[in-house]
Amino acid sequence: MEMTEKLTDTVFSIIIVNYNSGALLTGCLASIFQNLEEGYEIIIYDNASSDASLSRIAAQFPGDKRIRIVEGKENLGFAKANNLAARVSSGKYLHFLNPDIVVNSALAGDYRTIAQDDLDGVYVTSLASEDGHLLKNRHIIPTLGNYWICIFNKKKVAYWNIGASLIIRRESFERIGGWPEDYFMYAEDMDLFYILHRDHIPVTYFDTRLVHIGKGTTRQIWSESQRALKVELSFRRFFRKHDIPLQYFVIRPILLLFVLFHEPGGFYLQVKTFIRVLFIRTR
């Protein structure tokens, strides 16, 4: 396939999980239609939204056959909803996209590159703030073994990336069992990349910067302290799931020291949340 050739078949399934995303979702869809060529479908799994998200879509994109909406009866969280949407999709590649992402024309080039390479693996786009600043999207998977590797051989370090814009070949997605459903929200992306690393599935990074508004939905639902608690509980669950529960009590204080020196504004809330989680019995 030449780089200038358009994608005519449904090669990419863009999967968006929605929960009360409102104008953010229609803005995301508008940016997709504006900047991407043919060769994609959009699957929206709605987690029983109570706002006007779906009516906004009907009003702004009436009868658009590129959009398929799956209406859930309850809020299943991020991972389960993505997996259900993937089952009804038809693309060779699955592009999991947050509703608070704004797409630009560079993504069309990435799609052509992926289709041309036709390789097994995962592709991650860069993320930027609304004012254009590059956001940190690559993090070390927080296990003691991985930190040890980081000290002595950085080329073999395993990283995880925020799951706001992630493209994966369907075969790879099915091989790893989809998104890990152990989490309602948060840490499922860290866990996903941990599994990808374990199964030796390669990750490719694109320079394309998609605008990530961030917390676009959660800021409407939870307070900062509520969100911090959900993040911390999911983080702890990761260690319990992979049979390294004691590492949580070693690694979390180390990460808190990092926050103290690099992001002091969030230190107090994270310490308070960490202490609170210590007294919560988790499964």
CATH class of residue range 12-216: alpha beta
- 282 — pLDDT class (breaks 50, 70, 90): low
Domain extents in the chain: 12-216, 224-278
Question: Could you report the per-residue pLDDT of 237-246, keeping only the tens digit for each?
Answer: 999 999 999 9
Residue type, 23: A
Neighbour count for residue 37 (Cβ, 10 Å): 14
pLDDT single digits (tens) 72-118: 999 999 999 999 999 999 999 999 999 999 999 999 999 999 999 88
Q: What is the mean pLDDT of the chain?
A: 92
Kindly give the residue spans of alpha helices, DSSP state H, lying in the chain.
23-35, 53-60, 78-87, 106-117, 144-152, 170-175, 188-198, 218-221, 224-241, 245-262, 267-278
